[in-house]
Structure 1
Amino acid sequence: MKKRNKEVLFIIILLAAILAMVLYSAVSDSYRISPDKENNLALNQSELRFVTEKKRVILTVSKELDYLQKGFLEEYIQSIAEPSGLRIKLVEQDEKEADARIVVVDDVLRRQLDEISFTAPLFQVTGTMFINQESSSAKKILQGICIKGQFTDEEKRTLSYDGKAIELTEVEGTDQAVKLAQETNADCILGDQPGIIAALSSRELTGKYVDMYANLYKNNVCIMTDKEDGVLYSILNQCIQEADTRVLMGRAQEHWYGLGDAFVKEGRYKDAAALLIIVFAAVFCAFFFYYQSNKNLYNELTERMNQLTASKQEMQTTFNGVSYYMAELTPEGAILDINKAFLNYINRQVMGSTIAEALELSPELTDILETMLFDTRDTRRGTSREITLKNRILEVNIFPILNPKGEAEKLLFMASDVTRERMAERQMLQDNKMIAVGQLAAGVAHEIRNPLGIIRNYCYVLKTMNDEEAQEQAVQVIEKSAKTAGNIIDNLLNFSRISKKQVQEVYIKKHINSVISLNRGMLKKKQIDITVRCGEDFQVKMAVESFDMIFINLISNAVDAMEEMGRLTIVVYRTEDEFYVEVRDTGTGIEEGIMEDIFNPFFTTKSMTKGNGLGLYIVYNEIQKMNGEIKVTSIVGEGTTFKVILPIRMEEDKLE
């Protein structure tokens, strides 16, 4: 209860203070009818002597202030200097007899502080950006005009609008900037707000260029004197510090520009500041009651905002700390931001350019990347692809950044160098193939001995028989046997050759039979019966070497799982878009507890001398790369079936 009474008392005191300010404002007069302040300047003897002897001070005006009427500026400064008794005269810039100069104080002048002195500010000028409403939104780099020396080189490099870099052309003055912008149809003008407004108005361009209120800088307008003119500096500086510049500026504006009503309102509230205080107080009271009635909610909101800020900082730190090449993109692929790793990789500024331009991709790779961008944007799902760039293999992932409406507002590009990993995988695949070649060698040698034995027998026939018909038949048998041995050797060489991942068209039944021929020795040794069931032979387009590795490993596993007198069945069939290869054995089967582990690398139930645990792991990976699928069913004691599902026509750019 006491707390509530304190709140009510606080509101009553606040309202009383507001009422007092309103009453004070109502009885006090505006600057237009109030008497001037008395002369409170405390001039020393040197300053009084200077005023008596000099009487008039000549000032020049910087070109940057040409847009102000000289009469307005002279009247305003004269009203400031009037208490000192000095008269002010403004002359052209090249006047040699000038005592001081009215300038805009920027970084260039600040560096000259050892040689010159600046008075307190007369007023401020604000820097802003005016955008051409007729500019094309498809531009990647905006062409802008600015005043020479207004921006440092670093500021020029970092200037941007709507994520687009700005290329600046410098001119000497505000009027020249607007003139050049009109002639070249520039995208933007940067500079002093009032000066550009005045120049645009004189050229009737106010509807074409719109003020963005960018608040690029705020510079003070001061009187500049030489260090040696200490007396003049002291007098002018005292005048400015003692003057009510708001009142004097209002008078001059009303006289020259007719802007008096903007500073003084006739009626009950003659001071506009009082009205602003009332509005502010009313809003504050409403907020105060709302805050007191929802204090817990406010505290929770503050805590969540702090957490959000901390989370944002952590995300930015993570963004710059990861080793992946990351970039934030527009839906069209233009770069908005990149992380440190990406910047180090490309070693140049790429803001505003497309991701393809930043990576310097070939036209073919550019088309692939643009397709990934469009797919991610349209489906709102991530896409992944490996590309080869400058002898390096990059794994590229693109993810959508969704807004609350579920639309892809931005895209996240993420790439990593996987060259070493892919080279290791290829070497591991080749090593496994060579192991398989070693296992097949004995069987192949046995298969070759058969045609060689036939050849030797028929060579004997040729030597001992003179019957031409018998000799011709012997020659045909010899040629057939030589061809059989040659096919076996070709199959072995093709299988052992380093994979180039080439997509070829083959007849699947004929190709499977050629691969089986490499295993016949191993099958005969264990007296395993093999049957291939395939209706009409059909063509498929696939990575033949990858398929051979898959098929050889499945047959090898099936043979290892069976005792002598086993049965191996290969079933091949197709649908419109896919074909199926089933490898069925009558072996020991796979226990249910290890079914999920059989495709893991280095997992094996064989002894160390019979297996390295990579066969099924390679099978699984090769099938994934061919955009296929593998399924397994098994009954312990009865056998196992591996079903491989692959597309009938495989595109080369789908195989990585």
Structure 2
Amino acid sequence: MKKKNAIVIITFFMLILIIQFFITNNEKYLTKDEIKWLKEQEAIIYAANENAPPLRFVDEIDNQYKGVVVDVVNQLSLELGIDIQTVPMKWDDALLSLKEGRTQMCDMFINRERSQNYLFTDPIYNLRTVLLTRADDNFDTGNINSMKIATELGDYANSYLIENYPDAELIYTHNVEEGLELFLNGTVDAVIGDEPIITFLLVEKNENLNPKYSNIILYQQEVVFAVAKDKPELVQILNKAIPQLKSKGQLEKIQQKWFGISTPLIDTDNSSELIKTMVISFVIASIVVGGIFVLIIFNNFSLQRLVKKRTTELENSRNELQIIFDGISDFMLVIDKDKNVLKINKSFNDYAVNNGFMDRNAKCTEYINKFCSDCTNCLLDDAYKQEKNINKEVTAGHDVFEMNFQPLKDANNTVLITIKNITLDKINRNKMLQTNKMIAVGQLAAGLAHEIRNPLGIIRTQSYLLRINEKIDDAAYKSLDYIDVAVKRASKIIDNILSFSRFSSKAEKLIDVNQLIERLIEIHNEAIKKYRIIVNVESNIKEQIQLNVESVEHIILNLISNSIDAMNDGGILGLKTKVEDNIFTIICEDNGCGIDEHNINNIFDPFFTTKELGKGTGLGLFIVYSEVEKLGGKIDVKSKLGEGTTFIITIPFERKKS
């Protein structure tokens, strides 16, 4: 009888632990006092490094403060329903400002010195710090003591180096980019910085694959929000808000925006957590079922009802996990060691239905042959053998995908395959590189234009002086007329170059469409003459209209360029513009080579081109389509092979009220 009582008591305490588990995982969010405190604050300011991409930086193009951590702060602002201002500073200025209470938040590593000046929240993300140095097969960490190292003022790495490598010579800079410049030009032996920042800057400078350089991982630590000493209430509030962001998947979305599905910052291995949670749920369910069995034996009906209730809650929890699995937009499959498909999420199920196969007992090749057609070097086999994640980038149609093969050791030797569409990421990366190149070309062109203006001024002046000389004859006057016409034409070309190379605001403003088209045609004048193209321009627009100048320039410029490329043997280019009922219409037509019927549906795809290698990137019409979409307009194309092409673009706009 004592043994039976002991079993009942043990079962009872097991159930108490389960109840406590649910209670602790459903604690209240903000209290009334905390909400009141937030409303009483005049401002909460987050200030940090102004040049630490991609964590936080000021974008040179639109002068906006951006980055991974800035996005996290903005999400916290939305979550708490308050205005958290983000302010860029030099790093040492940001630390001093937080210490003096002029700002209230900043993310950082914790050390002894900082603990004396700030309060800290729970961890937000993990971060590795690396030492970028020149590759050496005989490198040893002891060599760091003899190095000259560039490091950012106020950085945690400084105290780390002083403590662990006291003989190293530290050269202090305002940011990691300055330190990298010192390293690349040979002023220092190495530069220290957070891994994402070093990687981003190397990619930007096209040095990321340089075999002469080597990244040495020094340490990895958790990053927290540091809070001003006079704001202890803010620490408690942030510690409640941060888990909310994690539970809603906001941190994962931010990391995917900046890094894709894998990231060096936030450890969000959803698949492993899913399996672990399912295993935990199974263990708890087993305990509950065992408790029910014992309680049935001893006819404890009250306890039996409680266990049934908890069993229902666990079933709901499992259903919630399935909902999360199905809610992930990336394709996900679980494959066993015999390459049978055990489980797929809803996103991939919809894809499978649309592509005409639904056999759940099929081999993996039936599902992923579009992405992974080469079975001779099966990445599944490599994942099993190496017992580590394997990534592969593949192209399917006009899209680019990243495949991740992740062994699930605790789930009967299965592998989780994740397939993510990274086409837009690659497009954005290529567009960023192209933008940087175009900025450089624009600056060079503007510089040359300014330099050319000086000799043109001299020519114009000397022409004038010759004209007032009474001794010259009619032939000389005729030659001077030719000179003046040429100078005037050169000046007009320079004005067009300077106007087009100048940075434009994205804001709408009143523009003269006819002058804009005239200027863009002038830019292509050399190609128009070379290919003997006749340009006809028609317009019923007699007033300025309110439009986004930058977008309209990109649209018309790419349409003209596309038509010229289609008429290498001469032809007629027609440009018509009109305004009716607050709709701005652009019609660009040519009698060039035309577009094949099989390609007409693909012309707006990024990187799609029928031009010879080196004569087109496939981004021109994609840019036109993107800009038209951004302006809320529509684009229609009509073409016949060998006869020509017509693009019709309509863009809504608001008339400027007088």
TM-score tier (shorter):
0.3 to 0.5
Q: Rg: which structure is higher? A: 1
TM-score scaled to structure 2, two decimals? 0.33
TM-score scaled to structure 1, two decimals? 0.33
